[in-house]
A and B are shown apart, each in its own frame.
Chain A
């Protein structure tokens, strides 16, 4: 009896504690039970040529995808400064896939070609590219109708030039550059039918010295008083400032330049990537169906104007923008190339597919700097 009396005060708390613990255990088992293991959150990979801290293409692209990933709460893994040749891209792809990426954005034109086999070997991973030259079931081409922006700035350049010569520094005559150059020229001619657009090839996306030299030549030799360019860096604006001529920026904010910086073409990569990611999540990405977003979707836009751009010019640009919103297109016939061949008869429109893959010509009104 003395024993039980000793144990007694201990017994009930012990019993109740056990009971409470068991009830908690039962409840937690019930509540924690997950019949459907959650789908692993897709991770997004991003591979880019330059430094993501470098203003221009690299940084604006990166910031766009970063913001889009934030919107959908998807983790973003980045590999920057990856060259577009020598298999470095494949290495980066493997790393990202190993880290769980199921969507990888290849943010340079050359990657798709360089890593073609790797992409084909990873059918469960979806790749995004801005190249139209490689076709794989898991490689999705997504483009920005940047040429629409070029068309609008062409109007400004046409309005602004006094000498009637507009200089254009570009990397190489591929489809993308040609689209931009041709659209720009159409814009210049719309504003100033007598104007000439002289293009100077640098042969590289990023060669500041060559770009500077080309630009200087265009100004000094050809008398260009408005410069535009299609390069990854900002060598041309610097030269234009130095030479005291007007220029059109590309993916560059206005800071640090004078009134010669008439306007910049900006790409809202965040809108672009948001659209891509949304379709990726809906499982709608289809290699056969390219996505091409432009001014109408707000992906391509112009920065604020320099005071040097007068109200009349601005009105003309706005009118052209409204045409885009009404589904008007840049490349509607009649169109001839610089050789004089008819590329698009009147009443017809160049199909998107053609624009993407077969724009291997310069339009009438374009001259090439030797």
Chain B
């Protein structure tokens, strides 16, 4: 939802801003347009008004002209005797462009030109006794007055002004930049003779002509009119005014600039300021929109954050589920594999099973790493501090790593400060994890040489020490440049070179994260190609300051945690919804000789618990229907199991779930996949306490010890001299590869004679260094090959012996290596710690 919102937001902001800008622009344009329109309308109005004044001036002059003519007419009629002379003198003094005439009513002239009555539109009115002013383009402006006698029209006098003189006589040219001309009302004819070409062009421009038509239309119903016309010749105001008392109009035009002039500059200023104000407004609005959307975004972010927190919790729940789901099948695989290892004696199958076990283990490690890392990133991760014994911490780590190192042919050197306080406070499991991570890394990246595990301390104050774990190897080392990448997720250095090394690359990340959580420090020193030293320093509180190696009664460093439990008669109930798990657990517990009951559901378990008392109950935590917690709660009510310890099987290995389980009443918990040793150790705690019928027995040396290195036998062979034994041992080690190569050659060439000689020699040297196992197998091979060298061997027996050789050759090779490793260890050992490492 939030993502789509995010995607929606940007276009929305843009849309909002665009809409805003467009509306502002539209308003701006509209305001400007409206202002111009108003300006023009107002100018049109004012020009129309002004043109009335112009008309007034012109009309004034015309009235004067008419009055003069009227006077003449009166004088003509009052003294008829002098009329002729008077008129003739008038005629003589006429300015150019002006003519006068005196005519009878029938149209004949008394003096001057005989005018056709219809030449001017209003002219006939004078014959009815009315005074007339009339204009006709090309003919001029005529003033006519009747000569009256006794109320009757006797004759008519007129005065005609040519177009050419009109301008001057009536002041048509005296109005600034305005151009004025007379026109008959409702007529389009122009005084072409007097108009300049320029003026004619102007008046005949279509837009201008149309403009004058508009003026004419308006003049039909109003005194004066003006319009603004935008033509190819620029903007002009055209105007017209009706000339009262005659059928003519005064038309005119003015250039726009002449009228608007400075006003337009003021308007420009107003418009510019307006635009700026609008722009400012737009910016403020945009700012507001952006702020608004930012606030919205913050809100969404905080909502997302809280969702994230929620999801982290659900993530950890989810991880627990996934972890459980992955561990359960691995558990079964590992368990089945364990059964194969126990049940078979076939060396080949055993080696395959070993492979499977290693793969399973690394798969679990992988799941653990991933889970640890994600878990640490969640808020639920806590460092749980409680008292622990330093010795068991160290021994656990060594137990886990040492076999691996040895198996790889490395020297594993343990260097523990004997004055280390016996008991400290801290997260024992996490510190162990750190140590194991560092150690297993060292083993992984070291091809030969040694891995040294040093445990020391520095006093910090009275109550605290700095606990130092140092892992030193002779491995490939780390480039200077790569050191910064070391503690980053999924970084594997030198991937080409290290591709054969398994692991997620998460180990160091987890380690460094853990160290930081414990307020510690991790340092790396390394020389590429020579090895690395990882040093972890953790502040820890002291509980028991007593050194681990004091009072002579030192606790065995290598306690056999994998002790075999035998508790005949103890009753155990195992509850799990997975049948394979049940089968596996049952098999794992077989050799403890306990009485094991199994059932597939909580309900079934409750029935069994009600039927008989159990010493201990192993209960799967996650089951359908009745889960572990509910089953336990119900079981506690039963009389038989008020105090019966319940151990939870869970795939959820977090500290959090551990706490929860303990709070729910479980005695302890076992994480899946169930490991036989851990299971036995766990049961030992509860069963022994309950019945006292169990005893811890030393367990046989695990698989690695099949070479049965017997140092006393070796010492015997060296006449009790340790030096001689060491000498022999190192010689065995040195010659080992060479001998093996020779054997391999003989084997491949099927040179059984040679092979027999070689194994015979090997037999003696094996006995001299105390390698009983090797000696035994060598003996078998010696016998077999000796038979093969016989001349008359039946095909059947040949096959038998060959099979035997084939079956044992690989074992022999492995045994040689194992023995060499063990001896190397022995030889390299510091005499003081040698004892510690080999308590037997």
Name the B residues within 8 Å of A242 (CB-CB): none
Contact A284 B242, CB 8 Å, known A26-B27, A329-B128, A348-B149 = yes
Name the B residues within 8 Å of A30 (CB-CB): 27, 30-31, 34
Identify which of B124, B153, B219 contacts A327 (C-beta below 8 A).
B124
Other 4 A-B pairs with CB < 8 A, given A30-B27, A278-B220, A284-B244 = A23-B23, A35-B38, A327-B124, A351-B129
Name the B residues within 8 Å of A286 (CB-CB): 244-245
Instruction: Flag if A27 contacts B30 (CB, 8 Å).
Output: yes
How many chain A residues touch B (Cβ–Cβ < 8 Å)? 35
Interface size class of chain B, counting residues whose CB lies under 8 Å from the partner chain: 35 or more
Q: Mask for A26-41, Cβ within 8 A of B = 1, else 0? A: 1100110101100000
Q: Mask for A325-357, Cβ within 8 A of B = 1, else 0? A: 001010011000000000011011111111000
A282 contacts the other chain (CB 8 A): yes
Contact A352 B130, CB 8 Å, known A1-B302, A1-B303, A31-B34 = yes
Identify which of B105, B118, B222 contacts A281 (C-beta below 8 A).
B222
Instruction: Flag if A351 contacts B38 (CB, 8 Å).
Output: no
Name the A residues within 8 Å of B221 (CB-CB): 72, 278, 281-282
Instruction: Flag if B128 contacts A347 (CB, 8 Å).
Output: no
Contact A348 B154, CB 8 Å, known A36-B45, A72-B221 = yes
Q: Nearest Cβ in chain B — how far from A255, in angstroms?
A: 36
Contact A289 B245, CB 8 Å, known A30-B30, A350-B152, A351-B129 = yes
Name the B residues within 8 Å of A31 (CB-CB): 34
Instruction: Flag if A1 contacts B152 (CB, 8 Å).
Output: no
B236-283 contacts to A, CB under 8 A, are 242, 244-245
Instruction: Flag if B42 contacts A36 (CB, 8 Å).
Output: yes
Q: Nearest Cβ in chain A — how far from B144, in angstroms?
A: 13
Identify which of B118, B152, B219 contacts A348 (C-beta below 8 A).
B152
Report how far A329 CA is from B118 CA in the complex, Å. 15
Chain B interface SS verdict (over half) = mixed
A35 and chain B: residue at smallest CB distance: B38
Name the A residues within 8 Å of B222 (CB-CB): 281-283
Identify which of B31, B34, B128, B220 contacts A351 (C-beta below 8 A).
B128
A11 and chain B: residue at smallest CB distance: B292
Instruction: Flag if B299 contacts A1 (CB, 8 Å).
Output: yes
Identify which of B31, B42, B129, B223 contacts A349 (C-beta below 8 A).
B129
B176 contacts the other chain (CB 8 A): no
A98 contacts the other chain (CB 8 A): no
Contact A349 B45, CB 8 Å, known A281-B221, A327-B117 = no
Instruction: Flag if A347 contacts B129 (CB, 8 Å).
Output: no
Q: Nearest Cβ in chain B — how far from A13, in angstroms?
A: 13
B148 contacts the other chain (CB 8 A): yes
Report how far A26 CA is from B28 CA in the complex, Å. 11
B151 contacts the other chain (CB 8 A): yes
Q: Mask for A1-32, Cβ within 8 A of B = 1, else 0? A: 10011000000000000010001001100110
Identify 26 residue pairs between A and B in the complex whose beta-carbon atoms are under 8 Å apart, listed by A's number.
Answer: A1-B299, A30-B31, A31-B34, A35-B38, A35-B41, A35-B42, A36-B41, A281-B221, A282-B219, A283-B242, A284-B223, A284-B245, A327-B127, A344-B152, A345-B152, A347-B105, A348-B105, A348-B149, A348-B154, A349-B129, A349-B152, A351-B129, A351-B146, A351-B151, A352-B128, A353-B129
A358 contacts the other chain (CB 8 A): yes
Contact A329 B151, CB 8 Å, known A23-B27, A278-B221 = no
Identify which of A1, A26, A283, A348 contacts B153 (C-beta below 8 A).
A348
Most buried by A among B30, B118, B151, B222: B151
Name the B residues within 8 Å of A352 (CB-CB): 128-130
Name the B residues within 8 Å of A349 (CB-CB): 105, 127-129, 152-153
Q: Mask for B115-141, Cβ within 8 A of A = 1, else 0? A: 001100000100111100000000000
Instruction: Flag if A282 contacts B223 (CB, 8 Å).
Output: yes
Q: Nearest Cβ in chain B — how far from A185, in angstroms?
A: 19
Name the B residues within 8 Å of A347 (CB-CB): 104-106, 154
Name the A residues within 8 Å of B45 (CB-CB): 36
Name the B residues within 8 Å of A329 (CB-CB): 127-128
Chain A interface SS verdict (over half) = mixed
Count of CB-CB pairs between chains A and B under 8 Å: 92
Name the B residues within 8 Å of A4 (CB-CB): 299
B243 and chain A: residue at smallest CB distance: A284
Report how far A30 CA is from B32 CA in the complex, Å. 10
Contact A283 B223, CB 8 Å, known A35-B41, A349-B127 = yes
Q: Nearest Cβ in chain A — how far from B281, in angstroms?
A: 11
B15-49 contacts to A, CB under 8 A, are 23, 27, 30-31, 34, 38, 41-42, 45
Name the A residues within 8 Å of B148 (CB-CB): 351
Report how far A262 CA is from B236 CA in the complex, Å. 60
B104 and chain A: residue at smallest CB distance: A347
Report how far A344 CA is from B124 CA in the complex, Å. 19
Report how far A333 CA is from B34 CA in the complex, Å. 65
Q: Nearest Cβ in chain A — how far from B751, in angstroms?
A: 86
A265-305 contacts to B, CB under 8 A, are 278, 281-284, 286, 289
Identify which of B118, B124, B151 contacts A353 (C-beta below 8 A).
B151
A356 and chain B: residue at smallest CB distance: B129
A349 and chain B: residue at smallest CB distance: B153
B45 and chain A: residue at smallest CB distance: A36
Q: Mask for B683-723, Cβ within 8 A of A = 1, else 0? A: 00000000000000000000000000000000000000000
Name the A residues within 8 Å of B130 (CB-CB): 289, 352
Q: Nearest Cβ in chain A — how far from B419, in angstroms?
A: 58
Report how far A332 CA is from B105 CA in the complex, Å. 10
Report how far A19 CA is from B302 CA in the complex, Å. 29
- For the complex of A and B, list the 6 residue pairs with the smallest distance between their C-beta atoms, beginning with the closest: A351-B129, A354-B151, A327-B124, A348-B152, A283-B223, A349-B153
Name the A residues within 8 Å of B117 (CB-CB): 327
Identify which of A1, A278, A350 contacts B151 (C-beta below 8 A).
A350
Name the B residues within 8 Å of A289 (CB-CB): 130, 245
Name the A residues within 8 Å of B42 (CB-CB): 35-36
Report how far A35 CA is from B42 CA in the complex, Å. 7
Name the A residues within 8 Å of B149 (CB-CB): 348
Q: Nearest Cβ in chain A — how far from B249, in angstroms?
A: 10
Instruction: Flag if B244 contacts A283 (CB, 8 Å).
Output: yes
Q: Mask for B796-812, Cβ within 8 A of A = 1, else 0? A: 00000000000000000
Q: Mask for B614-651, Cβ within 8 A of A = 1, else 0? A: 00000000000000000000000000000000000000
Instruction: Flag if B151 contacts A27 (CB, 8 Å).
Output: no
Q: Nearest Cβ in chain A — how far from B713, in angstroms?
A: 79
Q: Nearest Cβ in chain A — how far from B32, in angstroms?
A: 10
Report how far A331 CA is from B695 CA in the complex, Å. 166
Report how far A358 CA is from B31 CA in the complex, Å. 64
Q: Nearest Cβ in chain A — how far from B129, in angstroms?
A: 3
Q: Nearest Cβ in chain B — how far from A5, in angstroms?
A: 8
B44 and chain A: residue at smallest CB distance: A36
B118 and chain A: residue at smallest CB distance: A327
Report how far A289 CA is from B246 CA in the complex, Å. 11
Identify which of B128, B129, B152, B244 contacts A333 (C-beta below 8 A).
B152
B46 and chain A: residue at smallest CB distance: A36
Report how far A284 CA is from B124 CA in the complex, Å. 20
Report how far A131 CA is from B245 CA in the complex, Å. 21
Q: Nearest Cβ in chain A — how far from B481, in angstroms?
A: 47
Name the A residues within 8 Å of B34 (CB-CB): 30-31, 33
Name the A residues within 8 Å of B128 (CB-CB): 329, 349, 351-352
Name the B residues within 8 Å of A282 (CB-CB): 219-223, 242
Name the B residues within 8 Å of A333 (CB-CB): 152
Report how far A327 CA is from B149 CA in the complex, Å. 21
Name the A residues within 8 Å of B127 (CB-CB): 327, 329, 349
Name the B residues within 8 Å of A332 (CB-CB): 105
B185 and chain A: residue at smallest CB distance: A282
Report how far A352 CA is from B130 CA in the complex, Å. 7
Name the B residues within 8 Å of A19 (CB-CB): 23
B147 and chain A: residue at smallest CB distance: A348
Report how far A26 CA is from B26 CA in the complex, Å. 11
Q: Mask for B297-314, Cβ within 8 A of A = 1, else 0? A: 001001100000000000
Identify which of B27, B118, B299 contacts A27 (C-beta below 8 A).
B27
